[in-house]
A and B are shown apart, each in its own frame.
Chain A
């Protein structure tokens, strides 16, 4: 036997009250699906890693403190080794003319 529409609407009302959903028996377009979407702003903004504190910042903030920068010391030692072997970087030429004198070869 057919159930009267008012009973079904009452049932829907009770369902919505229990499950805390929106009551819309005529299926009107209210735009509620926009309100249901979760915001994805913070998740997107956290894509790139933020800048963290480095030893350089520490040295700038506390210039009188003794700090040991591993990477910097390694780099300086590497340059020293190269220089001792005679493989260090060549001297910088003062002007364009000086750099042309020795380097450029006529083809």
Chain B
């Protein structure tokens, strides 16, 4: 982690070690995504020799875990909560409720039908 973490914090929302880690993972994934996709292509191409495919497989498993997209989790930007986060608002359910009742979310009002 230490090799990837930015020297100067560039998060504007709620600061939490979990948020910092998630942010770092996202940046690292963005940097290494083309390499990862290339390795995946090499593995899946059946017209290449077995040896290159095996080497590509090995290299993919040896990449740092921060380059994997499955490690990234959408966290709440106001509270840093990992569960109950809605994609459209990037907030967890309680923060969403607080902000919606205060009128800070455009177009969100109490439902009744």
Contacts and interface: CB of A to CB of B under 8 A. Distances in A.
A34 B40 CA distance: 7
Contact of A49 (B9, B12, B37, B72): B12
A34 B10 CA distance: 32
A50 B30 contact: no
B12 A50 contact: yes
A97 interface: no
Would you call the interface of chain B mostly helix, strand, loop, or mixed? helix
Interface stretch (B42-50, B57-65, B104-112): B42-50
Interface stretch (A36-44, A59-67, A87-95, A98-106): A36-44
Contacts of B11: 48-51
Interface residues of A, number: 20
Interface residues of B, number: 29
Contacts of B45: 29-31
B93 to A, nearest CB: 18
Main SS of chain A's interface residues? loop
Q: Which of B23, B26, B40, B74 has the most chain A CB atoms inside 10 A of its CB?
A: B26
Interface string B1-28: 0000000011111000001001100110
Nearest to B74: A47
Contacts of A40: 33, 69
Nearest to B19: A48
B30 A41 contact: yes
A44 B29 contact: yes
Contact of A42 (B30, B47, B90): B30
A51 B12 contact: yes
Contacts of A48: 11-13, 19, 22-23, 26, 77
A44 B43 contact: no
Contact of A35 (B23, B30, B41, B74): B41
Interface of A: 28-31, 33-35, 37, 39-42, 44-45, 47-52
